[in-house]
Amino acid sequence: MSSRTSDVLVIGGGIIGLVTAWRAAQRGFATAVVDPEPGGGAAQVAAGMLAAVTELHYGEQTLLGLNLESARRYPDFAAELTDLTGHDLGYRRCGTLAVALDADDRAHLRELHALQLRSGLDAEWLSGRDCRRLEPMLAPGVRGGLRVDGDHQIDPRRLAAALVDACQRAGVVFHRAWVDRLDVVRGRAAGVTTTDGTALGADQVVLAAGSLSGRLAGVPDEVLPPVRPVKGQVVRLTVPRRYAPFLSRTVRAMVRGSHVYLVARENGELVVGATSEELGWDTTVTAGGVYELLRDAHELVPGITELPLTETRAGLRPGTPDNAPLLGPTPLDGLLLATGHFRNGVLLTPVTGDAMAHVLATGELPEVARPFTPQRFGAVLTEQPA
């Protein structure tokens, strides 16, 4: 057994753990990340919509503030990361069109539009004809839609690769291992032990393990974050050059109560997502999941059936009771959370990195992140762990 120490140890090398480590290292903390495969996780599955406005849901107005703030930071964040690493992130300021295919979808979209306007957001109602003028590949039956020019996209796989690179350049140490348990010494998080028996000590530990965050051994029950896995299946197609531009912006719809979206990248990749399934840790790609995605996407854009099918994949969103992330200190000294980003992990990456670096340096969450303290769920440490 060996023992290595750092100022900050981040459990989890997905995009949230990586951005936290990168920003912490930039602040001068000796930082380490423990993960068997840094840059992996849900970012390998996610489509990468930056959809603060089109993914607005009733009851999520507080989350909307954080989403909008992160969207506002995206241009500078992407430019900084690209300047530093040379990686093209596939950041595309293309806007989004959310459309309706039948009367129920139309009523739903009208409700969403009213909520967006009440929330002071920019969204324009278009007739079906105007939708098809913008996106000629849309089905003739489209009944109307919402044009949201502020909802963009990024390629999460490229983002993850760039963040690994940025971390390395900033001196972050990577421990490529699974964490067995959190180590608690005299009532304080003191590091972790990996499954190969290595002890990694730290002054502050950040739990950023996505959907796995809710089941780390050694974390007192009262402190374990209420995070659960929510399965999402996606399909990737390729648009041959001769068909380009197939779609000029992200296109989405509610079809018979299920969300479907098509995210077209400049490199020809077309991501169709996503199912939303409460099935525990299952990441099987099912015939039913793929069938439903392709059926709904075909109703929206019939021409997709001509395209080569390149990949099918399933991942796990880290869901929370209020669909919002958990950021900052826990009742266990030395343990902080950066997890539970649910549907918005890619969007929330910039603001999470900034908020976590701030709280690591000062002990306080910045104003924008305060509503997302883990303490909102009322966890109290009833007895001091040994």
Q: Are 63 and 347 spatial neighbours (Cβ–Cβ below 8 Å)? A: no
In the bound state with ligand GLY, the residue whose beta carbon lies nearer, of 33 and 234, is 234
In the bound state with ligand GLY, the residue whose beta carbon lies nearer, of 158 and 317, is 317
Cα–Cα dist 348/50, whole Å: 9
| Residues in contact with ligand GLY by the rule CB under 6 A | 49, 55, 232, 273-274, 317, 343
In the bound state with ligand GLY, the residue whose beta carbon lies nearer, of 41 and 273, is 273
In the bound state with ligand GLY, the residue whose beta carbon lies nearer, of 49 and 100, is 49
In the bound state with ligand GLY, the residue whose beta carbon lies nearer, of 55 and 165, is 55
Q: Are strands 124-127 and 96-100 parallel, antiparallel or unpaired?
A: unpaired
Q: Are 55 and 345 spatial neighbours (Cβ–Cβ below 8 Å)? A: no
In the bound state with ligand GLY, the residue whose beta carbon lies nearer, of 294 and 359, is 294
> What is the phi/psi pair of residue 250, to 5°?
-70, 135
Dihedral over alpha carbons 376, 377, 381, 386 (to 10 degrees):
-100
In the bound state with ligand GLY, the residue whose beta carbon lies nearer, of 158 and 252, is 252
Q: Minimum distance between the CB of residue 182 and ligand GLY, rounded to whole angstroms?
A: 28
Q: Minimum distance between the CB of residue 236 and ligand GLY, rounded to whole angstroms?
A: 14
Cα–Cα dist 273/204, whole Å: 37
Q: Minimum distance between the CB of residue 10 and ligand GLY, rounded to whole angstroms?
A: 23
In the bound state with ligand GLY, the residue whose beta carbon lies nearer, of 142 and 234, is 234
Q: Minimum distance between the CB of residue 211 and ligand GLY, rounded to whole angstroms?
A: 12
In the bound state with ligand GLY, the residue whose beta carbon lies nearer, of 274 and 336, is 274
Q: Minimum distance between the CB of residue 273 and ligand GLY, rounded to whole angstroms?
A: 5
In the bound state with ligand GLY, the residue whose beta carbon lies nearer, of 49 and 262, is 49
Q: Minimum distance between the CB of residue 347 and ligand GLY, rounded to whole angstroms?
A: 8
Q: Minimum distance between the CB of residue 200 and ligand GLY, rounded to whole angstroms?
A: 32
Q: Minimum distance between the CB of residue 193 and ligand GLY, rounded to whole angstroms?
A: 33
Q: Minimum distance between the CB of residue 256 and ligand GLY, rounded to whole angstroms?
A: 17
Q: Minimum distance between the CB of residue 323 and ligand GLY, rounded to whole angstroms?
A: 10
Q: Are 95 and 375 spatial neighbours (Cβ–Cβ below 8 Å)? A: no
